[in-house]
Amino acid sequence: MATKPSNHNLNVFRKPLALFSQTPMTGFYRDGYCRTGPEDGGNHAIAALLTKEFLDFSASRGNNLRQVPGLQEGCKWCLCTARWKEAMEAAKGVEDKVVPKVFLHATDESALTNGLSMEVLKKYAAEPEAAGGGGSLEGKVPITPGTKGGIAKETH
């Protein structure tokens, strides 16, 4: 379990981090949130919608996410900040599907201290988030203290 209490994680808008996905169960702590803590060396902070292109890209870099049971194109998944940034830098433009769209209301604020700017995240934000930071979803599902989950077993 994280040493940082789960109810203290904030999103990139500095508001309570929203639940992202429980099917499949995502997050470094496998609790549905893209929250990070000291045990998360990969900073699994980016809440993203997986694309075939990103899955291929990640596999080509040695992290085959398709090996995670139930994980496929179209799934919501918490990604390592560095891998998402690497895909963005390899992209041929904002519409290149190698870069998964980001859900800002569920992206941990630590992404902003790990090489990404709010401007970049907004550029790749899922609609309608690009305009309003989560719309009606923001703040509706904050982290519940005492959330339990296993730690992710992914390679980087």
Q: Could you tell me the pLDDT band of residue 8, with boundaries at 50, 70 and 90? A: confident
Say which residue the tokens 């988030």 belong to. Answer: 129
* pTM summary value: 0.81
Q: How far apart are CA 65 and CA 54, in angstroms?
A: 10
**Is omega for the bond preceding 128 within 30 degrees of 0, making it cis?**
yes
For residue 117, the model assigns a pLDDT of 96
Residues 27-66: tens digit of each pLDDT: 999 999 999 999 999 999 999 999 999 999 999 999 999 9
Q: How far apart are CA 128 and CA 17, in angstroms?
A: 17
Phi, psi of 67 (to 5 degrees): -75, -15
Residues 25-34: tens digit of each pLDDT: 999 999 999 9
Q: What is the DSSP string of 25-58?
A: B-TTTTSSSB---TT-TT---EEEE--HHHHHHH
Q: In a 3-state reduction of DSSP, which class is residue 60?
A: helix
CA distances from 155 to 17, 59, 62, 92, 146 (A): 25, 11, 8, 26, 27
